Amino acid sequence: MSGDGGAPATAAEPRLPEAAHISTPEGRRLVAQIGDEADRHGRKLLEVRNLSTQFFTPDGVVHAVDEVDFDLDYGETLGLVGESGCGKSVTALSIARLVAEPPGRIVGGEVVFDGIDLLRLSSEEMRLLRGRRIGFVFQDPMSSLNPTMTVGRQISESAAAHLGLSRPAASTRAADLLSMVGIPRPADRLGDYPHQFSGGMRQRVMIAIALACDPMLLIADEPTTALDVTVQAQIMELLRSLSERLRTAVLLITHDLGIAAGMCQRVCVMYAGRIVERGLVDDIFGRPRMPYTRALLDSRPRLDVEPGGRLRTIEGFPPDLVDPRPACRFAPRCAHRRAVCDEAKPDLTPRPADGEGHAARCWGTEAGGWIP
């Protein structure tokens, strides 16, 4: 990788840690792929099918992620949007097998990444894949970075562990990564600690760590939380440009629909642990087919609203996921509610007239429904 912020140079030939123990058929496939120069091994980079994650608490079983389905193509940017508590972050943690056990547990489904079902890998095999093939940018860099270690060490240890680089080579790579994410005088900042960086700079360090091994997928969980608007724009532009330059796919977790509109090709909308609508960005924003998506869009600040006017809100509260409704979970808050909404669960069905790949979970917008 060049020190002038250019595209990364070819890293050292990757090798497995000597202590790595491979015990499953999927793990052996992973090892074979790590040394394979092919760009892709699956139909899609990521295919999530019927993924369900639950938390077993003294108050009952929390259905945090409930039969979630979506896919992500190689090099694509997909947005996962919705209110706080809807299951976005737990979905991302489930994909990376980072859900704390106990109390959490992935209870069903498939997560097929580049042709390999991640749920069939052992914990040790999964550690080979994290960092090397999947990078993760957490939403709070101050709590995610180790305050007792320099940023240079935190970046270089991933490259050393996964790529087998020597200490000097890993340090050089760390400096190049800091340059690539836009930190001035990168070589001089390697010895600094996280508290010596601003919030936006710490987020750039997190991105550098996530990209240390040139992953195929970058999961960015609310990467602009607690940043001011100007820094938010800089971070999102950085992610966009790096994704295009490195051909890295991005799964963007956000509650900000504006960020999703400017960053993503497709969007999945989550509510109460389920995907309730998905499609191309222009189709979702131009003709939403789920009342919850419409309500989210209506609650955004608008330039054409009279100054000082009140923002629209979504009435009511999200459901209790310890005992979720068997029917439509948004019905108690929906202005278009009818009897069928309280009696049966709507499926996530195609809406071909509203765009390619557009699907929604709503009785009212099905063929013959009552919502225009």
Lowest mean pLDDT among 48-57, 267-276, 308-317, 359-368: 308-317
Q: Are residues 175 and 125 in the same domain?
A: yes
Residue 10 covered by a domain? no
Same-domain pairing of 238 and 281: no
Burial of 37 by CB count in 10 Å (0-12 exposed, 13-18 middle, 19+ buried)?
Answer: exposed
CATH (domain of 130)? 3.40.50.300
Assess whether 219 and 315 both reside in one domain: no
Q: b vs e for 227-238, b when ≥16 Cβ sit within 10 Å of the residue's Cβ?
A: beeebbebbbeb
- Tokens 């099918």 correspond to what residue? 49
330 — pLDDT class (breaks 50, 70, 90):
very high
pLDDT of 358 over the 70 cut: yes
pLDDT value of position 301: 73
Q: Is the pLDDT of residue 165 over 70?
A: yes
Question: How many domains does one find in the chain?
Answer: 2
Q: By residue range, what is the domain housing residue 287?
A: 269-303+311-360
For residue 1, give the amino acid letter. Answer: M
Q: Is residue 207 part of a domain?
A: yes
In a shared domain, residues 222 and 326 = no
How sure is the predictor about 172, in pLDDT bands with cuts at 50, 70 and 90? very high
Q: Which two tokens stand for residue 208?
A: 């550098």
Same domain, 223 and 287: no
The strand pair at 116-117 and 104-113 is best described as antiparallel
Regarding whether 206 and 294 lie in a shared domain, the answer is no
pLDDT, tens digit, for every residue of 28-49? 888 888 777 677 888 899 999 9
**Which tens digits make up the pLDDT trace of 99-141?**
998 899 999 999 999 999 999 999 888 988 888 889 999 877 7
Convert the pLDDT of each residue in 199-245 to its tens digit: 888 989 999 999 888 889 999 998 887 677 888 888 888 888 888 88
The reply to whether 216 falls in a domain is yes
Banded pLDDT at 311 (limits 50, 70, 90): confident
More reliable by pLDDT, 162 or 61: 61
165 & 297 share domain: no
Helix axes 167-180 and 199-210, enclosed angle (nearest 10): 130
